[in-house]
Chains A and B, each alone.
Chain A
Amino acid sequence: MQEEKFSDQDLIEKIKAGGKEFEDISMWMFNEYKGFLPKIKEKLKLPQQQMQDAYADALVKLIRHLRDGSFRGDSKVSSYFYTIFYNTSVDVSRKNASNKNMQTQELLEHDARESDLLNLIDNKDEAAQVITVMKSMGVLCQRILMDWGYYGYSMKEIATRSDLSNAESARSMKYKCLKKLRELLNTKMYNV
């Protein structure tokens, strides 16, 4: 897959399609844009480990924007990613300088507030709480919910991936797991 070239439209379609296509194109982008690493590293003089972390963060943000429509196509996906990656790295650099009050300006490309609640819990601490809650549900529920809720696998694919008998079993299991998650979050959010 790495040898292939994809148009921006291909990328967006594959990201939105979810499932295997989503995972494959994500890794393709990971390898495709690595050339930006040394350029930004040279500019900001950040340690390699921090550059790699910033790169991973930026790529996750790009995928989110491609998926939820925040990317409006005013520039190439690669240019858009470069801007996200640069701004993420600048944030890291500023944090290193202990000036945590300064935040990178929002990109013009995604001025519009994102539609889903995901962006309200972008804070790492809250994200860590979410991971803890998800893990407390057990491996099967966590896998099913993430395959469905994030990666976008179909019920048939989820059944195969989680070793369930069929799509209906997967759907039923997903319903139970989602209910359990709601309850856990409700308990956690309102009883604290």
Chain B
Amino acid sequence: MSQDKTEKMEYFISLLDDYIDGKLGASQTSEIEQALKEDPFLNEVLKQHVQARANMRTAGEQELRSKFANSFDPIPEVEKPKSNTLKIFLVVLMLLGLAFASYLYFSSQEVSQEQRPFTASVEEQDGRLLLASVEDPSYDLLRSERDSMIADSWQQAVQYFIAEDYEEADSIITSLEQDTVFIQDHKGKLSLMKGVANLKMEKYNIADQALSEISSDNPYYDQAEWYLALTYFYAGDTAEAKKMLEQIISNEDHYKRSEAQRYFDQLAKE
């Protein structure tokens, strides 16, 4: 391509944008349209030029689109709803916790009620150990669930005993003594309750008789020893009391060994 032709081509190319945009005057428009008719190369350049402009606008639109997309506030993370399994697990956990708390509460209530007789120390007045403060046997040991009528009577006796209505308790126990089958199976606990009830009512002879009926192979024998010693103690039978107390003290495994020593010491002072 000659220098002259190259310069002419550059001239027409420089007019292309204004030509496409319709900004050329009539003479220049006529001039470039004539050149386009005569020169296939200029035609090709025009085609490429239009393509290039379209590309610029496409790139521009992409840039603007990104600008819009980035102008939104960040989409907040949507908290995933907890699954039903988790909800059920949490509810079950809560119920278990509640049940455990209830268990602890009621257990502590029972323990405090049940342990009171065992843990309460015998009160003294003027250096004397008081009968009224003598602890009762474990109520648990006195409970039975044998056939309904007997069980009901027995439970009633226990309730009276707990309520310290020893007379009513003794009355029911006396009626239960008529049931030889019951006596056969429950001699120990029946005699223990009868003995302790009468001890509390200061009916020492009946207490002595009832408690003495509990044989050494009976599971309630250790309690019978203890309440028998107390019966003698409060009945004023010092010799028998000392004898029974020494028996308890000499037994290293006896559950009332230390208290028996205290009573024995009391008797030794007198």
Q: Which residues of A contact B (CB under 8 A)?
A: 26-27, 30, 48-49, 52-53, 55-57, 59-60, 63-64, 116-118, 120-121, 126-127, 130-131, 133-134, 142, 145-146, 148-151, 175, 178-179, 181-182, 185-186, 189
Contacts and interface: CB of A to CB of B under 8 A. Distances in A.
Given A120-B54, A145-B56, A178 B49 contact: yes
Given A52-B75, A175-B14, A181-B56, 8 more contacts: A56-B65, A56-B66, A60-B65, A118-B57, A149-B53, A150-B63, A181-B52, A181-B55
Contact of A148 (B48, B56, B64, B72): B56
A127 B58 contact: yes
Nearest to A124: B62
Contacts of A133: 55
A120 B55 CA distance: 10
Ranked 5 nearest A-B pairs via Cβ = A150-B60, A149-B56, A56-B68, A117-B54, A182-B48
Interface string B39-71: 000000100111111111111111111101101
B72 A52 contact: yes
A185 B71 contact: no
Given A178-B49, A182-B49, A55 B68 contact: yes
Q: What is the size category of the interface that chain B forms with chain A?
A: 20 to 34
Nearest to A123: B58
A148 B20 CA distance: 14
Contacts of B62: 127, 130-131
A53 B72 CA distance: 10
Contacts of A64: 61
Given A150-B60, A186-B48, A57 B65 contact: yes
A150 B66 CA distance: 15
Contacts of B72: 52
Contacts of B63: 146, 150
A130 B58 contact: yes
B59 A53 contact: no
Contacts of A127: 58-59, 61-62
